[in-house]
Structure 1
Amino acid sequence: MTDNPTTERKGHCLCGAVKITAKQAPSHVGTCHCNMCRRWGSGPFMELDCGTDVAIEGEENVTIYPSSDWAERAFCKICGTHLLYRLKGSGEHMVCAGIFGDIDGLEFTSQVFIDEKPAYYSFAEDTKNMTGAELFAMVQAQQESD
């Protein structure tokens, strides 16, 4: 894996009613295999962890679904495009990788909830893999150190 430079990336939903600008988008793509993400999109959730500096144009066309105590999911209420997963506490945005037009330089580097990944698909890339328990332990350790 390489370092993780950031750049401004712009994307939009299928119909164009919602536009997202991520000011500090990373070059790394992560994937979540949890049951909820797979139910949401009928497959793994591929995302860029864009932090909190994210602008949404067309917010009147965004539906927010509070999917858990700690996070919410957003989609375009016109075309249904999945837009992002947002942590309620920090406001951190995991933006769907597929909405970005400029995908040059993106690298698939990590997978979480690998313990919930079904056997009917797999990826060839060598990535950092974490179980759900490992992910929650890492998040807890980060919160305790802050």
Structure 2
Amino acid sequence: MSDWMTGGCMCGAKRYSARIETDDAYLCHCRMCQRWSGNVSIALVGLKKADVEWDTPPDHYSSSPIARRGHCATCGTSLTFDFPDSETMDLTVASFDDPSRFRPRHNYAVESWHEAWLDVRDLPAIRSEENPNVVDRWMKACGKLPD
């Protein structure tokens, strides 16, 4: 069963609708994805390019001779990875309006993963609203906490 899901960048300039066939996602740990996302890994969902409709297409950066990465040039959100000669692509899980549907099914490019970041569930957990410094700033700026 397929569902249409929406997503986009932080500032809203790049929006998409995607036909999703599966809940499967994966974590990529390659050095290019680490640099692209500014993180130790990035969560991605693979799908057909034909199953993605863009209100405004992403800006692209040719990250290597074989691949490109879509992003928003205004806010910097990482959105896509693809091989230009392929019929498939990846969308970033976090760019979906509701990323909670997806489940990681495998790790990719494990030769460059950072093992200390793989299982963090036993670390102390702090909610955003438990940080008075951040809460105070949000309340002064706009009178409420962000969604």
User: What TM-score do you get using the length of structure 2 for normalisation?
Assistant: 0.72
Aligned to 2:23: 27
Q: Is the 8 A contact 1:26 1:49 kept in 2?
A: no
How many residues end up aligned between the 2 structures? Answer: 119
Q: Give 3-state SS (helix, strand or coil) of 2:116's partner.
A: coil
| Shift in Å, 1:25 | 4.8
Q: Is the 8 A contact 2:93 2:102 kept in 1?
A: no
Greater CA drift, 116-125 or 20-29: 116-125
Q: Which amino acid aligns with 1:45?
A: I
Aligned to 1:142: none
| Shift in Å, 1:70 | 2.1
| Shift in Å, 1:123 | 3.7
More strand by share: 1
Max radius of gyration: which structure?
2
Q: Give 3-state SS (helix, strand or coil) of 1:120's partner.
A: helix
| Shift in Å, 1:38 | 0.4
Q: 1:47 to 1:118 in 2, by over 3 A?
A: same
Q: 1:69-117: per-residue Cα shift (whole Å, max 9, x none)?
A: 2211011011111111012111312000001112343211111011110
Greater CA drift, 111-120 or 30-39: 111-120
Aligned to 2:12: 16
Structure 1 outlier segments of 4+, above 4 Å: none
Q: Which amino acid aligns with 1:87?
A: F
Q: Is the 8 A contact 1:24 1:51 kept in 2?
A: no
Aligned to 1:37: 33
Q: What are structure 1's unaligned runs of at least 5 residues?
A: 126-146
Aligned to 1:55: 53
Q: What are structure 2's unaligned runs of at least 5 residues?
A: 122-147
Q: 1:82 to 1:12 in 2, by over 3 A?
A: same
Matched, 1:87 2:83: yes
Identity %: 24
CA distance in 2, matches of 1:74, 1:15: 15
